[in-house]
Amino acid sequence: MIQNVGNHLRRVGQVVNIKAKVNRAFNSSMEVGIQVASEDLCSEKQWNVCKALATFVARREITKVKLKQITPRTEEEKMEHSVAAERRRMRLVYADTIKDLLANCAIQDDLESRDCSRMVPAEKTCVESVELVLPPHANHQGNTFGGQIMAWMENVATIAASRLCRAHPTLKAIEMFHFRGPSQVGDRLVLKAIVNNAFKHSMEVGVCVEAYRQEAETHRRHINSAFMTFVVLDADDQPQLLPWIRPQPGDGERRYREASARKKIRLDRKYIVSCKQTEVPLSVPWDPSNQVYLSYNNVSSLKMLVAKDNWVLSSEISQVRLYTLEDDKFLSFHMEMVVHVDAAQAFLLLSDLRQRPEWDKHYRSVELVQQVDEDDAIYHVTSPALGGHTKPQDFVILASRRKPCDNGDPYVIALRSVTLPTHRETPEYRRGETLCSGFCLWREGDQLTKVSYYNQATPGVLNYVTTNVAGLSSEFYTTFKACEQFLLDNRNDLAPSLQTL
């Protein structure tokens, strides 16, 4: 399985540099990160072309192979290794995300109001091609090179896209290459492509590949599929307006609606994952369509903060350590201690924010607004006034929790602000925002857990933080010791619930 995003074109005479590295190995699958850069030898200019994430499954004959785990060493490797588990989680629920979006958030386009003169019937974009797999197309095992199949798929997709726009389309992104099964030398591959939907400046082309042997043409195996996004660029490399598409009844309408759903997911993902912290509100809108990516970004942001290797030990009192990290315009704090409580028990106790006022005076009250699913919940939190302000603060917080993916992984409880139409800012409170905070819990032994708390100070409280570091250290220490006592006092209360973890 491959996900790809392209940024720039490559032309004849330019050098292409390709780097690939295994980000993480799971039981029998692994994620490989691929980065493609280009260089113009005349001007010595270099630029990134595209990046992709590929998932491989190790097999020996018909059985899967248990993979050895890799050990990340650099800060970048640690980040990729940690976030790879979140990306795997998203891939596994991707199909369900599309179904939920179509079921709960109707994706409709008003076809009747569109200009019929600019509308192209989808069937006019259909392309079908047959390729014979020859020995140069296959590896030493006789299986067709994945790259060869991808090239054939892009060819038919490009033809389908050109039939809509009557121009030379440019491949912008690939939603996913899904390799369902292998093909071998001697197979005929039937490649089919059609424009699923056209938007203002882009179009989605769906491609599928079926394989058969000449002696059994009626028995075709579905081996590959992909969704590719194309644009048409003008002389200034700006995307041009595209004609609309009229979907075929039945299956064509389903593909049309699913393409709209995938576009919405792409836009949500692009906004959530790439929004610049200093240019947009820290709180992002919550709705069912962006749930998966908000949760992903929430957990990934915390894991990336944890993986940074330039934390500085500021103080240590009674085996409670306080670390700080200055990064760009943000100042982050990390508290760490070891408690005599089972890691799974501590995870249960700390992941329910309604219990936090019992040990954290900064949480005056906590209301559960929505239990989204087993791992995500939204809370409304009120806290006392901060830094000389007369009004108390309130927060709308998404709490995302994760159990360990492999041995050595921590339990994670990630917190970040979201906006809800039902909980807008009121005159009674001053709305606060948290960009990245939460807990990581490592099992250190039987009934022994390393508890780490992280908090990235947002611009709204940065001045208060930087002028009260000494007092804040004392506050952090007092609060963290209260957390330890809370865990010790309640370490047996939820024992039956541990069976569900």
Domain boundaries, the chain: 1-106, 117-273, 275-490
**DSSP assignment letter at 248:** P
How high is the mean pLDDT in each 10-residue block of the chain (501 residues)? 57 83 91 90 83 84 82 89 87 78 60 67 96 95 92 96 94 87 94 95 96 84 94 91 92 91 78 51 73 87 90 89 82 92 95 94 93 94 80 93 90 94 91 89 93 79 46 76 94 56 42
Cα separation of 59 and 450, whole Å?
37
Q: How far apart are the first and last CA of the chain?
A: 29
94: Cα separation from own chain's centroid? 11
Cα separation of 47 and 142, whole Å?
36
Cα separation of 324 and 305, whole Å?
11
**DSSP assignment letter at 340:** S
CATH H superfamily, domain 275-490? START domain (3.30.530.20)
Contacts of 264 (CB under 8 A, 6+ apart): 101, 105, 107, 289
As a residue count, the chain comes to 501
291: Cα separation from own chain's centroid? 11
3-state secondary structure of 343: helix
CA-to-CA dists, residue 318 to 237, 315, 350, 355, angstroms: 61, 10, 22, 25
Tell me the backbone φ, ψ of residue 497, rounded to 5 degrees. Answer: -70, -15
191: Cα separation from own chain's centroid? 30
| Residue 98 pLDDT | 79
Cα separation of 453 and 144, whole Å?
49
| Residue 69 pLDDT | 86
3-state secondary structure of 90: helix
Helix, strand, coil content of the chain in percent (nearest 5): 30, 35, 30
Cα separation of 401 and 86, whole Å?
11
117-273 with 275-490: one CATH topology? no
449-478 pLDDT, tens digit each: 999 999 887 654 444 444 444 445 677 888
3-state secondary structure of 434: coil
- 165 within 8 A of 122, measured Cβ to Cβ: no
| Residue 412 pLDDT | 96
- 346 within 8 A of 355, measured Cβ to Cβ: no
Let me know if 188 is exposed, middle or buried by CB neighbors in 10 A (0-12, 13-18, 19+): middle
CATH H superfamily, domain 117-273? Hotdog Thioesterase (3.10.129.10)
Q: Check: CATH 3.40.1010.10 for 1-106?
A: no
| Residue 473 pLDDT | 64
